[in-house]
Structure formats: C-alpha cells, structure tokens
Structure 1
Amino acid sequence: MSEELTTISAGSPPRVPPLMQGVSRRRRAKDLVAVNIGNAIEWFDWNVYAIFAPFFAVQFFNRADPLSAMLSTLAIFGVGFLMRPIGGWVFGMIADKRGRRFSLTLAILLAAAGSMIIALAPTFTQVGVLASAVLLLARLIQGLSHGGETGSAFTYLAEISPDSKRGLWASTPWVGVAIGTMTATGLGFAFTTLLTPEQMSDFGWRIPFFVGAALGIYGLVIRFRMAESDVYEQQDESPHSLTLKDTWRILVEHRTAVKYIAVLSTSGVAIFYTWFIFAPSYATTVHGVPAGQALLAGLLGQAVFLALIPVMGALSDRIGRRKMVFAYTLGFAALAFPLELILGSSAVRLFLAMALASTLLAVCCAPLGAIFTELVPTRVRATVVGITYGGFCAIFGGSAPYLNTWLSSLGLHYLFVATLVGLSLLTAVICWRMPETRGTAIR
C-alpha cells in the first residue's frame, strides 16, 4: 500500500462532504447523537466496574484479605482489556464487511449482556471461586464489546463528517466517554451518600449494573435506526476477507499507520485510566479520602474533560492534529510529578489534580479519532484502528490501575509515575516524526 497521505490541494475541487451525499445534514446530526449516546452507555458499563470495585471486591473473593481481594478484582479489570484487541479485530472486520452500523449495534448488545451477568452474579460466600469465574466471564464479554466500539465509532463519525470539521466530529466519542464515566461516578457518589458501607457492599453495587443493562437496550434501539456511512457504501474496493492471514497482511501493509496509532495511544490510555477513571478509587484506598467526597471530586474533574473535548476537537481543525498531541506529551512529562504532589488526603486536592490532568488529556484525545481515520483507507479502516488501538489499550490501559495500586502498596509509586513520563516522551518523539494529517481526503 502507499503510505502517502492524500491532501486537498488549493486548485482541486473540494470533495463533496458525506453529509451532502444522499442523507440530509439533519439525519447525520441525529446519527452523530445516536453514536455518542451508545458510546456513553458502553463507557458507563465499562467504568462502573472500576468505580464500584472497592465495594464488591470482597463479594467475589475471600473477604479475609481485603487488599488481595481488591488486587484480584483489578486483575480481572485488566484481563478484560485482553479481549479488546480481539474485539477490535472481530468488530473491525464486521464493520469493514457488514457496515459500521451493524458493528456498533452488536457491540452495545454485548456490553449490556456483560452488565446483566455481573448484576445477577453469585458471591464468593454462595458459590466459592465460581463467583470470580462468572465475574471474569462478564468482563471478557464486555472487553470484546468495548474493543469493537472504539474503532467503529471513530471510523463512522469521521466518515460522516464534513472535511473541515472532521476533528470536531471525530472528537465527540470522547464526549460519550466523559458522559458515561461521569454517570457511573455520579451514581457512585449518590449511592455512597444514601447507603451505608454495609449496604453498598451487600447490594448497592449491583444496582448500577442493572442500570447499565437497561440502558444498553435503549442504545440498541437508537443505533439500529442509524444510516450507514456514505464513505463506506461508496468505496470502490471490496471489503477484505475475515481470515487471520489476511488480517496480518493488512497490518503489515499498513505498518506505518499501525506504528503511529500504537504510539499515539500508548501514553494516552495509561494516563487516561490512571487519572480519569481510577483516581477517585486510588485517592480512597491510598490517601484515605472518604469515598463519597472522592467520587464527587472525580465527577467535577471529569466535567473539565467533557467541556474541553469539543473545544480541542475544533482547535485541531484550525491548527492541526500533530501540534496538539505534541503539546500534551511535553505538558504531561513536565507536570506528572507535580500532579502527584497536589494529590493528597483532601477531596479538593483530588479535584485540582484531576482537573489539570483532564485538561492535558483533552488536548491529547480530541484529535485522535481524526488522525486514526486519516491514516488508514476505508476498506480496512475499522480493522486496523480497532486492533491497534484495542491492543495498546489492553497492554497499557488495563494494567495501569493494578500496577499503580501494587507499586503504591510497596512504597514505589514514583516508579509508576516515572513510567508514565517515559511513555509520554516516547509519544513525543514519534509525534515529532509524524506527518500532519489535517486536510487529508479520506479514501
């Protein structure tokens, strides 16, 4: 394959935006909302686990050793990530073979099924180690679903966007990420305020999983009504086959794009799961911040990310994608240890640290959907993005909460922070070498 980027020259006629091709602007705007509502539900299902882990850990493992139970629960959180590259492969091929809409609809169905299994799961006291096996099964199902969601959502929204607003439109899945995560965090705050710790441990933790399953049914309905991407339907080449050999050939053929997507994802997902998802639980278990206060602080910190994502997505359409990711890498490398010094036993300090981290994450995350889409052709786009992004999420995102908690228990938390700094600097080096993709005509 040619790795060259096709740009829109000043003298050539502009490509007719997909919004103008057969489907109205109003319909495409509705489809954008539908994708992101479904994406929010997916992320609610995924992150309810991390938010409520301190309350249900002893329900699935031996309560005689709470730290071991928590580490085991986080280990299953990490194992769920191992399914994400598989989900990226399976759902990416489905999206490239059967269409983006079909893939997105199937993904949310599996996410809802995983939530229902956890909501109804028996406890360690009732069935012994079988309880942890059921929990593992549910997370594997959700990992498979979640791995398919990201690549298909980025791909679909970038494909239906106007060229001049691709950064903005392709950033909106992160709005869904924020809304889903904030809803999970908000429920955590509400329940820890209304219920006693004993009630939370006994039954309160199950309620959000029932909510997630119910929301999944709603997401299934709205996604089923979406229109297919015009870029996908009007492509000249036939979709690729479903074999492993063909998939490997595709990844090798597009290895330059794979390299960029992999490295751009690496530090972002590790920092995202450390500061955006797991920080409230970490502040509670390590710094002793009361659970309700930590979740409220986390909710407010996540709101900063939500507000900034569309701003940063639109900014990437004006100044370019590469500059923004490069600014994020240097910014986090400089602030990683100061952020740890801000974090402490106060909920206010947790909010300040999360707000700063969320600002940096918004600068990083907003341009990624557009970059990924602009690097890979339509015929294999969902597969390449899904496998690569899902794989590096599995390695660096899934392991972050466990590694953070384990090193902190040994008094070596600074090693974890240094690792994040190293990943940021690696991303900076690769980003410096990457061509600017703004203005690329997707093909």
Structure 2
Amino acid sequence: MTSTVNPQLTDRAATRKTIIGTGIGNAVEWYDWAIYATFTPFIASQLFSKADPASAVLSTLAIFAVGFVARPFGGFLFGWIGDRIGRKTSMTLAVGLASVGSLMIGVAPSFASVGAWASLMLLVARLVQGLAHGGELPSSQTYLSEVAPKEKRGFWATLIYTSGTVGILFGTLLGAVLNMALSTEVMNAWGWRIPFLIGAALGLYALIMRSRLHESDVFEGESPTEKRAPIWPQIVRHRKQAMQVIGLTVGLTVIYYVWGVVAPSYATTALKIDRGEALWAGVIGNLVFIAALPFWGKLSDRIGRKKVPWAGAIGTGIMHFPMTWLLKDSAWQLAVSMSVMLIFIAASAAIVPAVYAELFPTSIRTVGVGVPYSICVAVFGGTAPYLQQWLGTTMQMPNLFNVYAVVLLAISAVFVFSIPETMGKDLTH
C-alpha cells in the first residue's frame, strides 16, 4: 500500500514552522530591549551607585544607547554569515548570543557587593546583546521575505513587528504583574532579575526552533560563485540602497522607540504617572499596534509599497505634537496617545522589512540591509530615550526633542520618493 502526503498539509506545516521559528526569535530580541527599558529604575538602583538616583538612571539609559554601538558590527558579522553560509545559520547564532546577554544581566552582582564591576558587567552584557540584535533583524526579515509568496510579501512582512511587539507586550505584562505581585523591596532585591532569566530561557527555545528550519530556496538557488563574491565591492556598488535604508529608518526608529518602547517608563520617571498604571496603558497601546499592522501590510500588497510608509510618516508627524500635549499626568492619556501614534507608526513598521529586502540582490541582501539599518538605529534609535530624558528633565526643553523627532519623520517621508515600486518583485533576480 502506497501512502501519499498531502502537499497542502505539508505547506501548512512548513508555514507554521517558519512563522514560529522566525517569530519567536524576533520576539525574544524585542523582549530583551523592552524589559531593559521597563526595568530601568530597578537596574539603576541595583547596578549603579545610589548616591545620585538621577545620575544612575541617566547612566542606565546611556548603557542602553551604548548597546546599540555593537549593532553595526553585528549587522556586518551576521549579515556576512547570512549571505555566505545561510540565513538560517545567521538567525540561529544571533538568537543564541542574545540569550547569553540576558543571562549575564539576570545574574549580575549588585553595585553594593562588587562596586563598579556590576556596572561593567551590565555594559558587557548589553554589548553582547547589541552584537546579536544587530544581526537578528536583517537575518530574520531577509529569510521571511524570501520564503513569503511574492504577492503576499507585504502581509508576511508584518510578522517582524507583530512578533516583536508580542515580545514587548509580554515584557510589559510581566512588568505589570511583578509590580502588583511583589513589593518594592522584593523587586529591588531580586524580582527585577526574573524577566532577564526568562529571556535567556526563551532564547534557548528559539535557538532550538530555528535549528529545525529549512534554508530559503532563494539563497539555495544562488551559485557558489555568487556566494563567494567579495562583500565590500558589492556594498560600495549598492551604496544608494544603503542610504535609502537609513533614510527610511531614521524617522521610524526614533518615533517607535519613543511611543512603542519607552513611553511607559518615561511616563513613570518624568511625568510621575503610577508605574503599574503606565505599564497597563502600554499594553493597550501595543495591542492596538498589533491590530493595525496586518491592515497596512495587506494594503501595501494592493496599492503598492511607497504610498503606505509615506502616509505613515506624514500621519505620525502631524499627530506627534497633539498626542504629546495630551500626555500629562494620567494613564488614560498615555493609553490614548500611544494608541493613536502606533496606528500611524504601524504603516511604515508593517512593510519596511519587505521593502528593505526588495532593494537588494540575493548575494548581499542580509548585510546590505543589516549594516546601514544597524548604524541608523544605533545613532538615532539608541540615543532617543537618553535624549528625551535629558532634554525633558535635565534641560527642561522637551519641545526641542519633539521637533527633532518630527524633522526625522519628514526626512523619512522624503526618502520614500527615492525608492522604486517593488510590490510583487521576484527576489531571485
């Protein structure tokens, strides 16, 4: 008796494996960055001197920014691995290294016990995570774009920010639950370590899941000669596309970190909104974001790539000041302002993974995206929380940061006109 395999079922199983393997690793990366922002006050009190609390918070945010310095190196290293050895290998190694960084933070000794060594260990852990995260996003979004049906690539691309936001949401929920379940004394003593240890365990699970993925057919179809071609000449040849990646990213990365990642923490430290209420407001905002992403992704598969991020950049720029003025002293204001902003931010976030991949040929697709993207995120996204905190609380000039953010959004809107329309592009060419 001959048994047959239903191709549809096989395709469904492969799709499910791709979504889980790509999504969970991406979620872990974003979870790592979110819990650092969420638990900044506790990290500051435990791994830095308590003599000057304001300085400790700024130092903690500075290390948040320093972690981004390693991202371009990670983008090149893991981009090279992805373009020469394979997308799957790059994704697997990146999530494993990120897990090591989370574990280091989770077991770091306190400042009271080892002094400045505690701060140094935090710095090293963030550099390790930065290296890993610099390779995670370009590797995973390149892989996902190559395995997606070309007529639905915009919709599939939404998995990157959807899974990432699930990671942020999980971290935010975990913070809210711990805030309610544990006293401030317990949180300061050891409760703040729990999210980082969970992140290390999730990273190990993601590593196992990714090791079971199949390599993309687009990469497998490349000739050995193309895979061995020198990287640097290709980077120089595609410098225009690299600049387009930076231009499209610069406004999105700053405005997303402001409203999607650090808004609850900023509301707590600068606006004195209750920590637990601020975290729950963040949950609401992120749920709205997740709901908006597939709408924009499907729209880009119908009307084209260029119109969607342009509308998102303009809408975000217009609404930034009104939503900033709305946010004053209550959690409901935070929930409303985050939700409104994240609906417009979702327009760009939904499809840029597909747009980036469609700009480059297969032989340089991962590193071509990874290096300029990581540089942009390091220079602008990584410094955004620090600048916001410093200009808003230390210098008492919050509107200066708001103008800065809107100007960067305008730059991204202009860069949209420089890219070709790539909807439905065959990535094998």
**TM > 0.5 fold call:** yes
Offset of residue 236 of structure 1 = 3.2
Find 2:169's aligned residue among 170, 175, 182: 182
SS of 1:366's equivalent in the other structure is helix
Aligned counterpart, 1:317: 301
Offset of residue 252 of structure 1 = 1.5
- For residues 333-357 of structure 1, what are the alpha-carbon distances to aligned partners after superposition, in whole Å with 9 as ceiling and x for unaligned? 2111111111111000000010011
- For residues 184-236 of structure 1, what are the alpha-carbon distances to aligned partners after superposition, in whole Å with 9 as ceiling and x for unaligned? 00011001111122221121110101111111111111111111100000123
Percent same amino acid among aligned pairs? 44
Find 1:253's aligned residue among 210, 216, 237: 237
- Structure 2 contact 71–134 (Cα < 8 Å) conserved: yes
Aligned counterpart, 1:433: 418
Partners in 1 of 2:381 and 2:117 — Cα distance? 27
Check if 1:145 corresponds to 2:132.
yes
Partners in 1 of 2:144 and 2:162 — Cα distance? 13
Partners in 1 of 2:226 and 2:179 — Cα distance? 49
Aligned counterpart, 1:196: 183
Find 1:295's aligned residue among 279, 298, 302: 279
Aligned counterpart, 1:270: 254
Aligned counterpart, 1:403: 387
Partners in 1 of 2:32 and 2:380 — Cα distance? 20
Letter in 1 for 2:30: W
- For residues 103-140 of structure 1, what are the alpha-carbon distances to aligned partners after superposition, in whole Å with 9 as ceiling and x for unaligned? 11111111110011001101111111111100000000
- Structure 1 contact 239–380 (Cα < 8 Å) conserved: no
Structure 1 residues 31-110: aligned runs within 5 Å: 31-110=18-97
Partners in 2 of 1:219 and 1:286 — Cα distance? 35
Give the TM-score normalised by structure 2. 0.95
SS of 1:238's equivalent in the other structure is helix
- Structure 1 contact 96–239 (Cα < 8 Å) conserved: no
Which stretches of structure 1, 4 residues or more, deviate above 6 A after TM superposition?
none
Once superposed, what is the RMSD of the aligned Cα atoms? Answer: 1.5
Unaligned runs of 5+ in 2: 1-6
Partners in 1 of 2:225 and 2:133 — Cα distance? 26
Check if 1:219 corresponds to 2:237.
no
Partners in 2 of 1:161 and 1:354 — Cα distance? 30
Partners in 1 of 2:224 and 2:403 — Cα distance? 46
Offset of residue 426 of structure 1 = 1.0
Unaligned runs of 5+ in 1: 1-19
- Structure 1 contact 310–366 (Cα < 8 Å) conserved: yes
- For residues 243-262 of structure 1, what are the alpha-carbon distances to aligned partners after superposition, in whole Å with 9 as ceiling and x for unaligned? xxx54422210012111111
Aligned counterpart, 2:289: 305
C-alpha change, 1:395 and 1:276, in structure 2 (3 Å) is: same
Find 1:161's aligned residue among 148, 157, 164: 148
Partners in 2 of 1:194 and 1:328 — Cα distance? 38
- For residues 266-310 of structure 1, what are the alpha-carbon distances to aligned partners after superposition, in whole Å with 9 as ceiling and x for unaligned? 110011111100000000011110100000000110111111112
Check if 1:364 corresponds to 2:343.
no
Offset of residue 241 of structure 1 = 5.4
Check if 1:394 corresponds to 2:378.
yes
Check if 1:338 corresponds to 2:322.
yes
Partners in 1 of 2:93 and 2:187 — Cα distance? 32
- Structure 1 contact 237–379 (Cα < 8 Å) conserved: no
- Structure 1 contact 238–379 (Cα < 8 Å) conserved: no
- Structure 2 contact 313–345 (Cα < 8 Å) conserved: no
Aligned counterpart, 2:338: 354
Partners in 2 of 1:174 and 1:238 — Cα distance? 34
Aligned counterpart, 1:423: 408
- Structure 2 contact 153–424 (Cα < 8 Å) conserved: no
Letter in 1 for 2:139: S
Partners in 1 of 2:226 and 2:68 — Cα distance? 27
Offset of residue 89 of structure 1 = 0.4
Aligned counterpart, 1:116: 103
SS of 2:423's equivalent in the other structure is coil
Partners in 1 of 2:302 and 2:76 — Cα distance? 33
Partners in 1 of 2:204 and 2:243 — Cα distance? 36
Partners in 2 of 1:232 and 1:400 — Cα distance? 35
Partners in 2 of 1:251 and 1:197 — Cα distance? 50
Judge which range, 379-388 or 304-313, deviates more. Answer: 304-313
Offset of residue 435 of structure 1 = 2.0
Partners in 2 of 1:326 and 1:131 — Cα distance? 44
Partners in 2 of 1:299 and 1:146 — Cα distance? 23
Aligned counterpart, 2:4: none
- Structure 1 contact 260–430 (Cα < 8 Å) conserved: yes
Find 1:329's aligned residue among 279, 297, 313: 313
Offset of residue 176 of structure 1 = 1.0
Give the TM-score normalised by structure 1. 0.92
- Structure 2 contact 143–216 (Cα < 8 Å) conserved: yes
C-alpha change, 1:165 and 1:141, in structure 2 (3 Å) is: same
Partners in 2 of 1:202 and 1:48 — Cα distance? 17
Aligned counterpart, 1:11: none
Aligned counterpart, 1:12: none
Letter in 2 for 1:411: Q
Offset of residue 44 of structure 1 = 1.2
